[in-house]
Structure 1
Amino acid sequence: MPRPNILFIMDDQHRHDYLGAAGADFLRTPHLDRLAAAGVRFTQCTTNAPVCAPARIGLASGLQPSRLGCLDNSGRLPLGTTTYYQRLRDSGYRVGCVGKLDLRKSDGYNGRYGDRPYAYSWGFTHPEECEGKMHAGSSPTPIGPYTHYLAAKGQLATFHQDYRRRAAAGWSTDCRDSPLDSADFEDAYIGRRAAEWIAHVPDDFPWHYFVSFVGPHDPFDPPTEYGDRYRDAAMPPAISGSLAGKPEWIKKRSADFAPDQIAQTRRQYCAAIELIDDQIGQILDALEKRGQLDNTYIIFSSDHGELLGDHGLYTKSAAYEASLRVPLIIAGPHIAGGRVCDALCELIDLNATICDFAQLAPQRDIDARSLQPILDGQTNIHRQATVAALHNFRCMRTGTHKYIQNYNDCDELYDLEQDPDELDNIAATNPTVVGDLARRLRRRLG
């Protein structure tokens, strides 16, 4: 049997519970739901760093981002670090990408065609690295393939001015529709480019393709065609309650958002997800037309979640569930479908899993663990606990508790079975549990 193709679809800032297959009946994701029905949906996957660049650097390397000194968006993938993209390339795979990478986020120019030399050094043979949402809107002149596309269509000035206004008003709270038509929205561009690549890639070598959508990341600005579908839709309320027991940095960041304002941002967030789901449908159709569905592993996940007003917070950069947990679906050859798995796993585990799919030997000295035994039905247990870290905190999450170690601030401990909304910090009354999780966290992260 020829070695399989591997299609990895990622979006940006997609919280774990905003998926039809996960019970979100207020949102339409038929193509992702179809993928979940064909494979395994993991309910307890957490990011290793709830910020874009560190999460993606950890995924590429299979290492905890903290081991590489990448704890915020200024982090870069260190030169000389082995990536799974390199390993696949060196074993005979074509390795393509379209969309956001964030392996060297601080560089402002992606190249006319998204093929700056760094992309080849990371292991890509067919790169089209697009600009992230705020990156794309930051420049009045083209800085990558998507903004070149907008400039050619006479839309870049309109887009840039719109993002200047949003930046001044507040990225998360200014959630007007995009001035762009649906076809010119960046995630539609990425979806088209992905379907075209799959339709035309030669079949003489196996391929890995990383499709990385830039939404539903804020600003929440779907095209009107999609915004209209959710204009008056009922949305689940945000988690609210006393901030007693929360660290000072959370209290300072939290704001008192009106319920109507939260509902509106959630509607626009759903609209952006439905647009992405439509693009995923086109990508899967292109794969089916090539006759390659039966020999292609398909993965869907996200780099981190989105708080959407929970605890008075937006975006990510916190250890609470909506920020930390991400959706994860895996389907493909010999994977029995229709399964839901509650095993604890980390985003970096996809690094080792993909290398398993490509029939590569396990890589030494990485933190990622392959999910292949679960996919093969050999076990339902993967990790005893998952960890994550940023520059101001680190945390450990077990099947029952979450421990957050805030630097120069109070510790947090939540009983996730009794308090899934994380409203009651029980650290002070449970010193034994705190001590045990602190020791385990220290063993994992140093």
Structure 2
Amino acid sequence: MNQAERKPNILFIMDDQHRFDYLGCMGAEYVRTPNIDHLAERGIRFTHCYTNSPLCVPARISLATGLDPARLGLVDNTHVLDTRHVTMYQRFRDNGYRVHCVGKLDLNKSDRYNGRYGDRPSTYQWGFTHPEECEGKQHAGSSPTPIGPYTHYLEQLGLLQAFYEDYRNRGKKNGYDQSFRDSVLPTEAFEDCYIGRRAAQWIDTVPDDFPWFSFVSFVGPHAPFDPPTAYADKYRHSQVPEAASGKTDGKPAWVRRKEEPIEPYEIAVSRRQYCAAIEAIDDQIGLILDALERRGMLDNTYIVFTSDHGEMLGDHRLYGKTLPYEPSIHVPLVIAGPGIEAGRVSKAMVQLIDLNPTVGALAGLPAQNGIDALSIAELLLENPGKHHRSDIISSCKHFRCIRDDKYKLIMNSDEYIELYDMESDPHELHNIASVHPELVRSLSAQLEQRFAEVSR
């Protein structure tokens, strides 16, 4: 029996800016995600997974290290992964795994050149043995010359100039968040389709003499909402949910300043385009799962699907992330694989960084001390009713928040306090902080304690 048969493979799929409720398996009839839904049927779906920071770089560095953004001082996208911290990718490499990636990493966003093949030297330093680091959507569209493997691919097809001009024009008026036009690219050249094909090709050809960890990181459904026309046409006139509210009453001034002057029909268009982008990603996940099945690896592979953060998508007339509200911090999580009972749904409170020690435990790696993340492997394999966390925390430049089963408390940088009853007010429409001072004091103490623990 070779090593690959003894140790499981890990397929870690992450997309970018995918809010928790836009999945068929979460009850969303307005978006088609049959492959992700099938994963949920084969494994377990978590209803309460939260990013530790609703912004790409802080979320991804924290996932890589298992350390909360507050401990690392991560507040924006200018940060670079400090090589003094051990990553989960290094731990898999050092325990006999091939470590592959294709797609967006965002561990050093300030370095604008990813390398011809996405294998700049820093990717090996982070722990990858087989890297193909692709450009993020806006990164790819920012340059008329190739800056990574995907833009080199577009140049080979004679499509880079058209793609660059399209993105340059999208950013001129109201920014990428309100750019809802279809992609100028044919479906096969769309970046998420490129990433899906490359991931499937790697699985098709990887030797089976060592186990592997593959991090597949799609760049959508991040803004601009520009799916290929073949997908956009499927949703052109479909029904989508209305925005939760058309105003930011009860929100702090820094949030109110982000309110967009956008009409309800425009919000509906953006939501249709968002759905189309998600279906395109789901189809690529299907290609990857097909490759696993062809290789006979499906039964010996743990598969994780999640996202780095969510997207407001017009709720409260807000777009993007960096906000403390559910569409921004609440993310999908599905896990399937050997020993995981099929068709389960868990309401456990999970933080995104908890996936770091979880996949390590599933692969039999030694436990790592000194991190903030807590493994949910026992909950997956042995004790579904095991208590995990009583609450989750999340933070960004302008806020810190704590959320338990019933309440969410938000402490804003301008000292404005928000409190929401998440059972009776899931859309966070009614700030009840002024009428529940004792609850504010209690949750404030919990929040301070939690952040004190991760800031030492």
TM category (shorter chain) comes to: over 0.9
Residue number in structure 2 paired with 1:107 = 111
| TM-score of the pair, normalised by structure 1 | 0.99
Report the 3-state secondary structure (helix = DSSP H, G, I; strand = E; otherwise coil) of the residue aligned with 2:334. Answer: strand
Of residues 7-16 and 431-440 in structure 1, the stretch that sits farther from structure 2 once superposed is 431-440
Q: State, as a whole percentage, how many aligned pairs show the same letter.
A: 59
Supply the distance in 2 between the matched residues of 1:276 and 1:192 (Cα, whole angstroms).
Answer: 11
Residue number in structure 1 paired with 2:291 = 286
Deviations 1:381-436 (A, max 9, x none): 31000001112111001000001110123111100011111011111111221112
**Where do residues 172-321 of structure 1 align in structure 2 (5 Å cutoff)?**
172-321=177-326
Tell me if the contact between 2:63 and 2:352 (Cα under 8 Å) persists in the aligned partners.
yes
Report the 3-state secondary structure (helix = DSSP H, G, I; strand = E; otherwise coil) of the residue aligned with 1:225. Answer: helix
Tell me if the contact between 2:19 and 2:332 (Cα under 8 Å) persists in the aligned partners.
yes
Whether 2:402 is the aligned partner of 1:385: answer no
Of residues 244-253 and 224-233 in structure 1, the stretch that sits farther from structure 2 once superposed is 244-253
How far residue 440 of structure 1 moved from its aligned partner, in angstroms, is 1.4
**Where do residues 17-416 of structure 1 align in structure 2 (5 Å cutoff)?**
17-169=21-173, 170-380=175-385, 381-416=387-422
Residue number in structure 2 paired with 1:444 = 450
Supply the distance in 2 between the matched residues of 1:167 and 1:26 (Cα, whole angstroms).
Answer: 28
Q: 1:422 aligns with which of 416, 428, 440?
A: 428
Q: Which runs of 5+ in 2 are unaligned?
A: none
Of residues 430-439 and 305-314 in structure 1, the stretch that sits farther from structure 2 once superposed is 430-439
Supply the distance in 2 between the matched residues of 1:354 and 1:405 (Cα, whole angstroms).
Answer: 32
Supply the distance in 1 between the matched residues of 2:184 and 2:191 (Cα, whole angstroms).
Answer: 12
Supply the distance in 1 between the matched residues of 2:345 and 2:144 (Cα, whole angstroms).
Answer: 46
Of residues 215-224 and 67-76 in structure 1, the stretch that sits farther from structure 2 once superposed is 67-76
Supply the distance in 2 between the matched residues of 1:348 and 1:373 (Cα, whole angstroms).
Answer: 16
Deviations 1:143-188 (A, max 9, x none): 0000000011110000000000111122121211111000000000
| TM-score of the pair, normalised by structure 2 | 0.97
User: Letter of the aligned partner of 1:394 in structure 2?
Assistant: R
Deviations 1:232-264 (A, max 9, x none): 001100111553321001111112421110000
Supply the distance in 2 between the matched residues of 1:256 and 1:129 (Cα, whole angstroms).
Answer: 36
Structure 1 segments, 4+ long, off by >4 Å, are none
Report the 3-state secondary structure (helix = DSSP H, G, I; strand = E; otherwise coil) of the residue aligned with 1:352. Answer: helix
How far residue 437 of structure 1 moved from its aligned partner, in angstroms, is 1.5
User: Letter of the aligned partner of 1:202 in structure 2?
Assistant: P
Tell me if the contact between 2:246 and 2:317 (Cα under 8 Å) persists in the aligned partners.
no
Supply the distance in 2 between the matched residues of 1:418 and 1:231 (Cα, whole angstroms).
Answer: 33
Supply the distance in 2 between the matched residues of 1:256 and 1:87 (Cα, whole angstroms).
Answer: 47
How far residue 270 of structure 1 moved from its aligned partner, in angstroms, is 0.4
Tell me if the contact between 1:70 and 1:76 (Cα under 8 Å) persists in the aligned partners.
no
Deviations 1:344-388 (A, max 9, x none): 000000001011011012110101111112112414331000001
Supply the distance in 2 between the matched residues of 1:108 and 1:94 (Cα, whole angstroms).
Answer: 26
Tell me if the contact between 2:179 and 2:223 (Cα under 8 Å) persists in the aligned partners.
no
Supply the distance in 1 between the matched residues of 2:137 and 2:447 (Cα, whole angstroms).
Answer: 34
